[in-house]
């Protein structure tokens, strides 16, 4: 079983560690019903066409990992992107799964408040006058800081805040990290949500960024030193792919980016920071050509991604520099063309 674990696992640490240390705020969770386990029928699993790993009872694992994190960080907003497994050929299991989910959200509490009371409810009176999604500060103030969405409409329950992902999101196909590929999966280029009572809010963009079926395949592309472009989670691959996906979906920035091996996500977090607040595009990754770099500029003498060369009098933002700076052209930089200069 240890070999199968290595094949299937695509994260190094527990959910609690991912939330508290790696700053993850969205979780892709698979659940599956096991009628043989009377004490914990609903299981937290990782399942694909080749393998199914059982990580324990869903309620138990949320109690160990999610609840303490939410109690420690009262500002955190966490999203569950949930899929059910094992019910594809037996739809009669779905009402049972839904009932077990309700029981979990009734049973588990954060400082005495049931999870049911902490889920985001788009039809709440709090948001009836909102033309679009509430701000993060408004969500924190409301206490509705769990966003829970499922892959099937069978699990919609507005009382519990359970939503259907295709009502709220657009999503690209789960597999692929090529910077010039962003295949639609569902609700592509649909600008507005399609909740039963809300058709006016902006549709969210969930961006998948996984190379492979197995964690064993993806790990060497993410974890290691001197990976080209910083690896799959690095500036040189992730940022150009975000740009390409945006060019295909009408310019919508991703609200969620799903990654393997989030303990190696420092550059991915920098990409998210740049998308949200601007600043400086990442440089310094190993490269052998311009297309390995987020700036499309590789210093071939040093094999390092550098800021984009722009004339000193340029008023544009030179990628890799702050506004008002430029990267010295090769003829004038005396070997220092990974530095930004004031224009």
Q: Model-level pTM?
A: 0.91
What is the rounded distance in angstroms from the CA atom of residue 336 to the CA atom of residue 127?
53
Residue matched to tokens 């979906």: 249
pLDDT the model gives residue 236: 97
User: Contact at 8 Å (CB) between 262 and 17?
Assistant: no
Give pLDDT tens digits for 179-222: 999 999 999 999 999 999 999 999 999 999 999 887 778 888 88
Over residues 224-239, the pLDDT tens digits come to 889 999 999 999 999 9
Lowest mean pLDDT among 91-95, 112-116, 317-321: 317-321
pLDDT score, position 337: 54
């Amino acid at each position: 079983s240890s070999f199968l674990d290595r094949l299937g696992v695509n994260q190094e640490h527990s959910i609690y560690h991912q939330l508290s240390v790696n700053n993850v705020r969205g979780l892709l969770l698979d659940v599956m019903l096991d009628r043989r386990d009377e004490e914990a029928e609903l299981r937290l699993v990782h399942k694909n066409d080749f393998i199914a790993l059982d990580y324990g009872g869903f309620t138990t694992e949320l109690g160990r990992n999610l609840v303490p994190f939410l109690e420690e960080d009262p500002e955190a907003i966490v999203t569950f992107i949930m899929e059910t497994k094992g019910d594809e050929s037996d739809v009669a299991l779905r009402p049972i799964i839904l009932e077990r989910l309700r029981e979990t959200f009734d049973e588990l509490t954060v400082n005495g408040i049931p999870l049911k009371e902490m889920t985001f409810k788009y039809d709440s009176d709090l948001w009836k006058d909102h033309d679009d999604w509430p701000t993060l500060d408004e969500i924190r103030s409301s206490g509705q800081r769990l966003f829970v969405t499922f892959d099937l409409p069978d699990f919609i329950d507005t009382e519990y805040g359970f939503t259907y992902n295709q009502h709220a999101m657009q999503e690209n196909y789960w597999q692929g990290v090529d910077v010039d590929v962003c295949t639609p999966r569902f609700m592509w280029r649909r600008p507005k949500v399609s909740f039963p009572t809300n058709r006016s809010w902006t549709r969210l963009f969930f961006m998948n960024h996984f190379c492979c079926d197995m964690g064993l395949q993806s790990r060497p592309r993410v974890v290691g030193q001197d990976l080209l472009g910083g690896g799959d989670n690095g500036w040189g691959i992730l940022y150009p792919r975000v740009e390409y996906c945006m060019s295909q979906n009408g310019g919508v920035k991703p609200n969620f980016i799903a990654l393997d091996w989030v303990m190696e996500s420092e550059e991915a977090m920098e990409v998210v920071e740049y998308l949200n607040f601007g600043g400086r595009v990442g440089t310094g990754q190993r490269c052998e050509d311009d297309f390995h770099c987020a700036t499309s500029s590789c210093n071939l003498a040093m094999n390092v991604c550098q800021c984009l060369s722009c004339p000193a009098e340029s008023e544009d933002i030179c990628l890799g520099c702050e506004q008002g700076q430029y990267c010295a052209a090769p003829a004038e930089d005396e070997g220092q063309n990974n530095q930004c200069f004031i224009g």
